[in-house]
Chain A
């Protein structure tokens, strides 16, 4: 037993320095030099203000903006630290709803959202991603169908033609990677920045 103590201590300290300090520092150094924008969180600025990250969703509720998926994130209640308040797209506290498929809370939430969306766009099936929360609560994307669902409202609120809005959405959509991997997706923040630029 005792003869194992020296190697255990040396290896523990040695590997802690190597994998816990030198390795992350080296990766940070190289990453900051070669991919500084990504390494610092893919920051997006407009007129000198930090708007957000290209990879992190943010909440939009105004009619003139493309709406993202619902988000289940929360923040501590400022009045009572033991409680939390729902805060969509809280990017310092990622979380999913973790509601089971047969949960009453899930069905109640979705039935409310579906009723609102059907009122906005009667007769069109409600895309699944517009009424379900993502795993991180920070999903930056929606499906092309979910974007198309909102074209009428956006065109009206912005005073743009439907074709113009559809073209802006198409310009900020990505297909599957190499045509095979993942799903086609529309970056909500990118579309909204473009909409602001097109019709402030």
Chain B
């Protein structure tokens, strides 16, 4: 670890912090349908969408209607994406002549992009036509991100409103977020990264003759337009197999910093949107603070771990001063890699600028733990905030139990119904993650997809299902997951991880909106100060630790001790 490395990390953190208030305020205006900077420019398009769709944006929906609208939209999106992938061989814009995507891979990929996971069982440049990348995947990058933010806005309204029956209009939320938030930032971002070297062309590849006379086929495509939304929407599905490690997706330290900031900025801003909505910005900052502390802990451990040379290689005579460089890109070095890897798994992005599988055991454990905790550290766009609010409910519930008082959050009584729904959402994730992992490592067929032996092999399988249900999409990429078993189970894993959280969360939002506000008394537990931050972090770590420690002990922790004792697999 160097001072220079910490300065790089601090600069990224300060920029995200500085963006939180302005973006949070803008998001609130967009979500409320108020006038803002872009209304005069794009207002006609927004109104056109409503007219064509037969939607009245002022007509709000109950939580159940909101959830149904979201589900119908998702089913339609699934059908369209699945069809494009299956038919890409006969559709236009296929310069590399890619064949049709197999049924199980198309199912897995469609679910993956719909749920904002962007798990990729395939290598982009060897599987997908340009049409599939653009009309299939880029579209869902936008829409799954917009849906995440829409749901967060609906949940925020649920907490902010009193004695209300509705939590917003799904169609209006989707339209406004896409037009006013995602699209404008992506247009600017895409052009900046083209300037830095990210290709944007409809050509399939470039043929080169290297200086030593070998033939090199260099894959190209409309990369920048997809890259921008991939990061901003915390999607993470790369144009190329190597994702943000590929020099064409992430050519420089500048693009790496921009990508890191893009991943975190909307998730961080939503904490402020929340605070403003409940008319106490400190409520938002308390959430921001808890998230920031968990982020710093992660980046500290990961940076520390990867700054060391692999002991097994140092013993052979390798100079350890560059750190653990297997599976990392030189232009980023350890600090930018540690920062990116922490951020991408704190959020549900899952883009990688290094191969997490080749991290040292404790370094590789950090991304795994980040996802296991529920990606509530700024989190996926939208999903980070509503995921965190679940833990906030548990925290006030625990605080209420300690003093023997009905728990309250933001002036609303938290009752049996909310706590049950919260526990449903919190428990579904580990059930899918651990259940599928157990199945995959025990069944002889699926286990053959695992490339590593020993504890590392177990971690490979565990990481896959944790990443799937967490809707992250990063991987211990040695796993050959493109088989019917893995594609299907991971598809189900991703569906559970997305919708078994969203639906209970929307139900909670509905019942919170309907509640009356109770005026705070001297016995009210304040949720805008350091005590709450400490308690909620404690709850997150205890729930995560109790659930996942045994699995971690079998995987990265066992591997750490084995590696330091000189055992190889």
Contact = CB atoms under 8 A, between A and B. Distances in A.
A91 interface: yes
Residue among A20, A110, A134, A143 with the highest chain B CB neighbour number at 10 A? A20
B212 A11 contact: no
Interface string B342-369: 0000000000111101111100000000
A143 B225 contact: no
Interface stretch (A98-106, A153-161, A162-170): A98-106
A193 interface: yes
A98 B476 contact: yes
Interface in A51-81: 51-62, 65, 69
B225 A138 contact: no
Interface string A1-44: 10011111111101110111101101110111011001111110
A37 B361 CA distance: 41
Interface size class on chain A is: 35 or more
Given A7-B53, A20-B136, A102-B568, A15 B178 contact: yes
Contacts, number: 378
A54 B196 CA distance: 12
Interface string A157-197: 00000000000000000001100111101000100110010
A111 B352 CA distance: 27
B84 to A, nearest CB: 9
Contact of B322 (A23, A52, A127): A127
B458 to A, nearest CB: 11
Given A7-B171, A32-B200, A128-B309, A56 B247 contact: yes
Contacts of A15: 139, 142-143, 178
B334 to A, nearest CB: 8
Contacts of A97: 326-327, 355, 358
A61 B212 CA distance: 8
A180 to B, nearest CB: 6
A138 B197 contact: no
B72 A5 contact: yes
Contact of B211 (A40, A43, A189): A189
A152 interface: no
B484 interface: no
A118 B217 CA distance: 33
A137 B241 CA distance: 11
Given A91-B216, A103-B569, A135-B242, A27 B222 contact: yes
B214 interface: yes
Contacts of A185: 330-331
Interface of B: 4, 7-8, 11, 49, 52-55, 68-69, 72-73, 76-77, 80, 123, 125-126, 134-136, 138-139, 142-143, 171, 174-175, 178, 183, 186-187, 190-191, 194-203, 205-212, 214, 216-220, 222, 224-226, 229, 240-242, 245-248, 251-254, 256-257, 309-310, 312-313, 316-333, 336, 352-355, 357-361, 451-452, 454, 456, 476-478, 559, 562-563, 567-569
9 contacts: A21-B135, A27-B224, A55-B247, A97-B326, A99-B452, A132-B313, A132-B326, A137-B242, A145-B321
Interface of A: 1, 4-12, 14-16, 18-21, 23-24, 26-28, 30-32, 34-35, 38-43, 49-62, 65, 69, 89-104, 106-107, 110-111, 114, 118, 125-129, 131-143, 145, 176-177, 180-183, 185, 189, 192-193, 196
3 tightest Cβ-Cβ pairs between the two chains A and B: A182-B253, A135-B245, A183-B333
